[in-house]
Amino acid sequence: MRIGYLPAVCVLFCMLHVKAQETDSIRTLRLKEVDINDSYRQFVRRQSALEVDVIGSVFLRDHFTGNLVQALEHMPGIHSMDIGSGFSKPMIRGMGFNRISVTENGIKQEGQQWGADHGLETDAFNVERVIVRKGPASLLYGSDAMGGAIEIAHLPPPPENRIFGEAALLGKSVNSSIGESVMIGFKKDAWYAKIRYSGQDFGDYRIPADTVVYLTQLLPVYGRRLKNTAGFERDAALHAAYRKGAYLSQYSVSNVYQKTGFFAGAHGIPDASRLEDDGNPRDAGLPYSTVNHLKASARQQYTAGNLSVVLDAGYQNNHREEWSTFHTHYGTQPAPEHDPDKELVFSLQTYSLSAKLQWTPSPVWEHTAGWDMQYQQNRIAGYSFLLPEYWRFTGGLFWLTAWHPRSNLSVSGGVRYDEGRTDISAYTDGYLEAYLSKRGYTDETIAAFRWRSYPVNSRFGNWSGSLGIIWNPADEHWLKANLGRSFRLPGANELASNGVHHGTFRHEQGDPSLSSERGWQLDVSYACEHGGWSVSVSPFASWFGNYIYLKPSGKWSVLPHAGQIYRYTGVKALFAGGEIAGGIDFLRWFGYHASAEYVYTRNLDEQVALSFSPPASMRHALSWKGKHAQVETEWQCIAAQLRIAKNEDPTAGANLFHVRATACIPLGKIHADVSLSLNNLLNKKYYNHLSFYRKVEIPEPGRNFQILIKIPFKQNIK
* Peptide linkage before 287 cis (omega within 30 of 0): yes
For 718, other C-beta atoms within 10 Å of its C-beta total: 4
Looking at the domain that runs over 46-716, which CATH code has it been given? 2.40.170.20
440-472 pLDDT, tens digit per residue, is: 888 888 887 788 888 899 999 999 999 999 999
pLDDT, position 45: 65
pLDDT digits (tens, 9 = 90+) for 244-253: 999 999 999 9
Sign of the CA dihedral running 69, 73, 75, 76: positive
Distance of CA 546 to the CA centre of its chain: 24
What is the per-residue pLDDT for 448? 75
Please report the pLDDT score of residue 33 as a whole number.
38
- Which residues does 449 contact at the CB level (< 8 Å), separation at least 6? 432, 433, 436, 441, 558
- Map out the domains of the chain as residue ranges: 46-716
What pLDDT is recorded for position 98? 87
The C-alpha atoms of residue 542 and residue 146 are separated, in whole angstroms, by 10
Q: What is the mean pLDDT of each run of 10 residues along the chain (718 residues)?
A: 36 33 34 45 70 88 90 91 78 90 90 78 93 88 88 90 96 95 96 97 92 77 89 96 95 95 71 76 89 96 94 96 84 86 94 96 94 95 89 95 92 94 91 86 83 88 93 89 91 86 74 91 93 93 92 79 82 96 94 96 93 94 94 97 88 96 90 95 93 82 94 91
> Can you point out the beta strands (E) in 324-364?
342-359
Distance CA 374, CA 613 (A): 30
Handedness of CA 46, 63, 700, 583 (dihedral sign): negative
Count other Cβ atoms within 10 Å, centred on residue 482: 23
3-class secondary-structure state, position 198: strand
Phi, psi of 429 (to 5 degrees): -115, 100
pLDDT of residue 271: 65
